[in-house]
Amino acid sequence: MSSVFSSIKNYFHDIFYEDNPNDYNFSLGEQTNPLVTNASTTFNKNSEALNLDNESLTDTSNDKIFPSLDVNLEYIRVRFNEMINSDIIIREFTLTARNKQYSAFLVYIDGMTDQDVMNNFILKPLMLKNTANSFEGNQNRVLSEVKTNNITVRKVKRFNIVEYISNCLLPQNNVKEFTKFDDIVKAINAGDCALFIDTLDIAFDVEVKGYERRSLTTPHNEMVIRGAQVGFTENLRTNTSLLRRYVNNENLIIESVNIGKLSKTPCSICYLKNIANTDLISEVRYRLNNLAIDYLTSSGQLEQLIQDNDNTSLPQIIATERPDRTSNLLFEGRIAIIVNGSPYVLIVPAIFSDFLASSEDYNLKYQYSNFVRALRIIALAFALLLPSMYMAITSFHQELVPTELLYSIISARETVPFPILFEILIMELSFELIREASIRVPSPVGQTIGIVGALILGQAAVDAGIVSPILIIIVSFTAICSFSIPDFSLSFHFRIMRFIYILLGAMAGFLGLAAGLCVHLLVLNNMHSFGVSYLGKNIFKTDEFGNGIVLSPAYRREKRSKELKTKRPKSQDKISMRWKYPQH
C-alpha cells in the first residue's frame, strides 16, 4: 500500500510541485486508513484524470480539497460512484476572471435541486457575466489613501478570486466555503450544489434545494375540535419555520446536529434560550452527539436511542405532530428534537401526566378539561384492570358479586367449554388481531374489518357457545377505554400490561393484582426522563408540569415546573387580567 501512495506523490510532484513541493499536502485519507482499500490504483501520466478503484471508503474526515481540479473531479467521481449512479450530475465549464480563464465544475444530485435556479443564477453568471471586467470585485480596491509631503500612500486590496466569485457571481443568499471533502459531500447529499474551481483548495456550497415535499396538512393522529389544524411534515426546514411562526420569539434557538456515520441525518435541537435550563440543554446535546450508529431514519428510532430506561414499554419522551403543542411545551422550558424525514417531533423531558393530556385541554374551559381528564384516568384504570378483575372475581372472589349477577354469569358460562383464563386470552388476542389488521390494510377495508371482526365474529362466537356474552361486553368496554387514552405509546404499554394483570388475577386473585400494582407504581416512581422524576414530586400541584393532572384556570397558571429549574420560574403575573383588577 505504501508503494501506491509513493506513486501518487511522484505523479503530482512532476506536475504541481516543481516550484515548492512543501506548498502542497496530498493525501487521500490517512495511510493507515486509505480511501482506496482495494490497492488497484492505476495512473496514466498522459491522461487528465486520476483513476481510482473505490470498493469501500474508510475514514475520510481529514480529506482536504486539493488545488488541482482534476484530482478533485476524480475524487468526487469516486466518492459518489458517478460511473454507476445515474442521478449524479457533474457539469464542467470555464469561467473568466481578470482576463484569466479558470476550469471549473459543478456537482449536484438530479431531483434534489431547483433546475431554474441552477441555470439562471449559477451557470449563467459564471459562464456569461464573468467575462466583464467592470465588476468591483474584479478590480484592485483602494482601502485607504493618505497624503504626506506630496507623497500619496494607498492601501490596496488585491484581487481575490474567492471573494469575487462569492460576492459578484453567486447571487444566492446562502453560499458557504468548505476546505474538506466531508463537508461538501454532506451538503451535496442534502440537496445543495458544489462548485470546484481550478487552483483553489476550497469548494463553494450553494443552496439550491428544490426537491418535492409534502404540503402542510391536518395532523392524522392528534385531531382536535378546537385548535390548530396543521401538523408537521417530513421536511426539516418546513418544520423549523412552522415552529418559529408559533413561537414568534427571537430567543428560540435551533441548533443543527447530524446523526449517523453514513446517513448523517440532519436534526435540530430547539429551545428557548431565556427559559430552558442550561444543564438540560447540555444533556440533550451530549446524548445526540454520542450516538455511534450508521444511520438514522426516523424520530421513533432516535427516541429509543436516547431514552433513560430501556427495559420498559412506557413512553419517556413526548412524540407529537402538532406545532401548537410543541410551542406550548417550549414555553414551559422543554426541549424539542426534530428529525429530518419524520413528521413527529420529540420533546424532553416528559412525565406520566403529559401522556394523559391533549392539546385541546388548553383551548377549552378548565372545568370541562378537568372532567375529561378524570374520564381518561378512569378509562385508563378500566383498560388496565377490568379483564383481570373479572378473572379474579369469577375464580377467587365470587362472594363479592351480587347473587343475581352471579347466577347470570354462571348460566352464561354453562355452554362454554373453556376455562375462564383461556376464554379471556382468546378474546383479548382476537381483538388485538382485529385492531392490528384494521391499521395495516387500506382505510376503507380497515373499517370493514373492524365491523366484521367486532360484530359478526363476536356474535357468532356467542351463538356457537365458545365465549360468554358478558365477556364480549367486558372486552368491548375495555377496548373503548383504551381508545380514550390520548397518547398511542401509553395505550400500547397498557395493552401489554393488561395480559400480565390477567395472569396475576388468574394465579392469586385480588392479592396478585395488588402485588402487581405495587410493583408497577414502584417502577414508575424510580423512572426518570432526562433527570426529571417520571411521576413528579408534586404531581397533583396545578403549577407543576403544565399544571399537572388537575388543570387550573388560565389566569392561575403563574409558575413553570420547579423540577425543570427554568431560568424564568414565572410564566405570568399573579394578576394577569389587569382589565378586571386595574387597582393591581
Burial 8-35 (b: 16+ CB within 10 A, else e): beebbeeebeeeeeeebebebbeeeebb
Where does 45-170 have alpha helices with state H?
69-79, 115-118, 124-127, 161-164
Cell of 284: 440533550
Structure confidence at residue 210 (pLDDT) = 83
Are residues 172 and 115 part of one domain?
yes
Q: Is the pLDDT of residue 276 over 70?
A: yes
Are residues 40 and 184 part of one domain?
yes
For every residue of 418-433, which 3-state class applies, written as one string? CCHHHHHHHHHHHHHH
What one-letter code names the amino acid at 503? L
Q: Is residue 292 part of a domain?
A: yes
95 SS3 class = strand
Quick check: 434 and 453 in contact, CB under 8 A?
Answer: yes
Are residues 159 and 133 part of one domain?
yes
Average pLDDT over residues 76-95: 92
Measuring CA to CA, how many Å separate 408 from each of 180, 387, 403, 411, 509? 79, 17, 9, 5, 21
Structure confidence at residue 41 (pLDDT) = 36
d(CA 71, CA 64): 11
Are residues 406 and 318 part of one domain?
no
Q: How confident is the model at residue 556 (pLDDT cuts 50, 70, 90)?
A: confident
Average pLDDT over residues 442-463: 74
Burial 543-553 (b: 16+ CB within 10 A, else e): bbbbbbbbbbe
Looking at 22-31, 151-160, 173-182, which range is the least confident one?
Answer: 22-31
Burial 447-477 (b: 16+ CB within 10 A, else e): eebeeebbeeebeebbeeeebbbbbbebbee
Looking at 87-91, 142-146, 201-205, 220-224, which range is the least confident one?
Answer: 142-146
Average pLDDT over residues 537-564: 71
Q: Is the pLDDT of residue 138 over 70?
A: no
Q: How confident is the model at residue 400 (pLDDT cuts 50, 70, 90)?
A: confident
Looking at 22-31, 107-116, 188-197, 253-262, which range is the least confident one?
Answer: 22-31
Q: Is the pLDDT of residue 188 over 90?
A: yes
pTM: 0.81
Transcribe 248-272 into DSSP letters. Answer: --TTEEEEEEEE-TTT-EEEEEEEE
- Of residues 439 and 58, more confidence is placed in 439
> 89: alpha, beta or left, given left = phi > 0 and alpha = psi -120 to 50?
beta
Q: Is the pLDDT of residue 8 over 60?
A: no
Q: Is residue 544 part of a domain?
A: no
Quick check: 528 and 308 in contact, CB under 8 A?
Answer: yes
Quick check: 168 and 142 in contact, CB under 8 A?
Answer: no
Cell of 5: 501512495
d(CA 514, CA 517): 5
Q: How confident is the model at residue 417 (pLDDT cuts 50, 70, 90)?
A: confident
Report which DSSP code applies to 565. T
Average pLDDT over residues 108-125: 89
- Of residues 300 and 29, more confidence is placed in 300
Q: Is residue 572 part of a domain?
A: no
Average pLDDT over residues 431-437: 85
Q: Is the pLDDT of residue 510 over 90?
A: yes
Are residues 418 and 504 part of one domain?
yes
Are residues 124 and 195 part of one domain?
yes
| Among 92, 79, 87, CA closest to 110 | 87
Residue recorded with cell 405509546: 489
Q: How confident is the model at residue 141 (pLDDT cuts 50, 70, 90)?
A: low
Q: How confident is the model at residue 545 (pLDDT cuts 50, 70, 90)?
A: very low
Q: Is residue 562 part of a domain?
A: no
Number of domains in the chain: 3
Which of 64-73, 91-100, 532-541 has the highest mean predicted lDDT (pLDDT)? 64-73
Q: Is residue 429 part of a domain?
A: yes
Residue recorded with cell 510541485: 17
- Of residues 96 and 542, more confidence is placed in 96
- Opening angle at CA 393, ends 388 and 399, nearest 5: 165
Q: In what order do the strands lie in the sheet with 335-339?
A: 252-259, 265-272, 335-339, 345-348, 318-320
- Of residues 220 and 10, more confidence is placed in 220
Structure confidence at residue 170 (pLDDT) = 85
Structure confidence at residue 19 (pLDDT) = 41
Structure confidence at residue 45 (pLDDT) = 34
Q: 162 CB contacts (<8 Å, ≥6 apart)?
A: 177, 200, 202
Measuring CA to CA, how many Å separate 289 from each of 57, 267, 269, 273? 22, 11, 11, 20
537 SS3 class = coil
Q: Is the pLDDT of residue 544 over 70?
A: no
- Of residues 562 and 9, more confidence is placed in 562
Are residues 383 and 495 part of one domain?
yes
The kind and range of the H/E element at 15 are helix 2-16
Average pLDDT over residues 328-353: 94
Q: 331 CB contacts (<8 Å, ≥6 apart)?
A: 247, 272, 275, 571
Per the DSSP assignment, residues forming a β-bridge with 103 are: 94
| Among 326, 362, 361, CA closest to 232 | 326
Are residues 312 and 258 part of one domain?
yes
202 SS3 class = coil
Are residues 84 and 47 part of one domain?
yes
| % of the chain residues with pLDDT over 90 | 43
Are residues 189 and 240 part of one domain?
no
Q: How confident is the model at residue 5 (pLDDT cuts 50, 70, 90)?
A: very low
Are residues 122 and 32 part of one domain?
yes
Looking at 6-15, 57-66, 69-78, which range is the least confident one?
Answer: 6-15
Q: Is the pLDDT of residue 269 over 90?
A: yes
Are residues 383 and 325 part of one domain?
no
> C-alpha dihedral over 354, 357, 363, 368, to 10 degrees?
-140
What one-letter code names the amino acid at 302? L
Q: Is residue 545 part of a domain?
A: no
Q: Is residue 220 part of a domain?
A: no
Average pLDDT over residues 104-133: 82
Q: In what order do the strands lie in the sheet with 193-197?
A: 88-97, 100-109, 193-197, 203-206, 175-178
Q: Is the pLDDT of residue 137 over 50?
A: no
| Among 198, 193, 159, 199, CA closest to 176 | 193
| Among 571, 558, 551, CA closest to 364 | 551
167 SS3 class = helix
| Cis bond upstream, residue 349 (ω within 30) | yes
Average pLDDT over residues 34-57: 39
Q: Is residue 548 part of a domain?
A: no
Q: Is the pLDDT of residue 340 over 90?
A: yes
Where in the sequence is the domain holding 335, given as residue range(s)? 236-350
Average pLDDT over residues 122-126: 86
Measuring CA to CA, how many Å separate 176 from each of 39, 113, 188? 34, 17, 12
The 10s digit of each residue's pLDDT in 207-239 is 998 877 788 888 888 888 888 889 999 999 999
Q: Is the pLDDT of residue 59 over 90?
A: no
Per the DSSP assignment, residues forming a β-bridge with 148 are: 151
Q: Is the pLDDT of residue 136 over 80?
A: no
Average pLDDT over residues 169-178: 87
Quick check: 351 and 316 in contact, CB under 8 A?
Answer: no
Structure confidence at residue 440 (pLDDT) = 80
Looking at 34-38, 253-257, 471-475, 536-540, which range is the least confident one?
Answer: 34-38
Q: Last residue of a domain, which of 350, 385, 407? A: 350
Quick check: 277 and 245 in contact, CB under 8 A?
Answer: no
Q: How confident is the model at residue 512 (pLDDT cuts 50, 70, 90)?
A: very high
Q: Is the pLDDT of residue 2 over 80?
A: no
